[in-house]
């Protein structure tokens, strides 16, 4: 069965190059499954879990981003991504508490706090997946 070449980029540079037989992501419209030979597509990724069927199923926490797929090559651009096994749970809980504190403070940037809370919750739930 053909595979998809996957390249994941962050502002820090190349995060990972791999091959996957299925890519499961969450877009603003909901879950999307991408199999080899899928038609060309651009998908906006929410702050969410992403699953790649690599040598084994790998689960990632994605801090939102964009996916481009064409000719069995997939590029994922995101501000931050962690493999489930690399998530620092304690750090995520601290970020969650901080964001919740900001959300209670009318002088803080509520949109920013809301996004920080979503990233923290996503890391916690990916860790627990
Ligand atoms: P924090 O306040 O803890 O930095 P954040 O949501 O502001 O959280 P990001 O700006 O999304 O952090 O990410 C900054 C960098 O830190 C990225 O490289 C990201 O992969 C990494 N990172 C953030 N939180 C965690 C975590 N809980 N475990 C592992 N890596 C993390």
Is 119 near ligand 1, meaning CB less than 6 Å away? yes
Neighbours of 63 (CB within 10 A): 20
Predicted confidence (pLDDT) per residue in 66-86, tens digit: 999 999 999 999 999 999 999
If asked whether residues 77 and 97 sit together in one domain, one would say no
4 within ligand 1 shell (Cβ under 6 A): no
The predicted structure's pLDDT at residue 26: 98
User: What's the CATH code of the domain at 106?
Assistant: 1.20.5.440
63 and 119 part of one domain: no
Range of the domain at 100: 88-128
Both 16 and 45 in a single domain?
Answer: yes
Whether residue 73 is found in the same domain as residue 107: no
Per-residue pLDDT tens over the stretch 7-49: 999 999 999 999 999 999 999 999 999 999 999 999 999 999 9
Indicate whether 51 and 96 sit together in one domain: no
From 81, 82, 118, mutation site for ligand 1 pocket: most ligand atoms within 8 A of C-beta: 82
- Do residues 35 and 76 both lie within one domain? yes
What's the whole-number mean pLDDT along residues 53-65? 97
Can you give the pTM of this predicted structure?
A: 0.95
Residues 93 and 80 in one domain: no
Q: Let me know if 28 is exposed, middle or buried by CB neighbors in 10 A (0-12, 13-18, 19+).
A: exposed
Separation CA 129–CA 116 (nearest Å) = 20
Q: Closest residue (by CA) to atom 24 of ligand 1?
A: 92
């Amino acid at each position: 069965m053909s595979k998809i070449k996957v390249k994941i980029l962050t502002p820090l540079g190349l995060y990972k190059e791999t091959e996957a037989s299925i890519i499961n992501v969450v877009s603003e419209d909901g879950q999307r499954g991408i199999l080899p030979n899928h038609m060309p597509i651009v998908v906006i990724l929410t702050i969410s879990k992403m699953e790649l069927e690599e040598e084994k199923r790998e689960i990632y926490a994605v801090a939102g981003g964009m996916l481009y797929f064409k000719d069995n090559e997939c590029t994922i651009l995101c501000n931050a991504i962690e493999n489930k096994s690399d998530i620092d749970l304690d750090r995520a809980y601290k970020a969650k508490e901080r964001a919740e504190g900001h959300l209670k403070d009318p002088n803080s940037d509520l949109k920013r706090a809301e996004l920080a809370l979503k990233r923290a919750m996503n890391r916690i739930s990916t860790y627990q997946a």
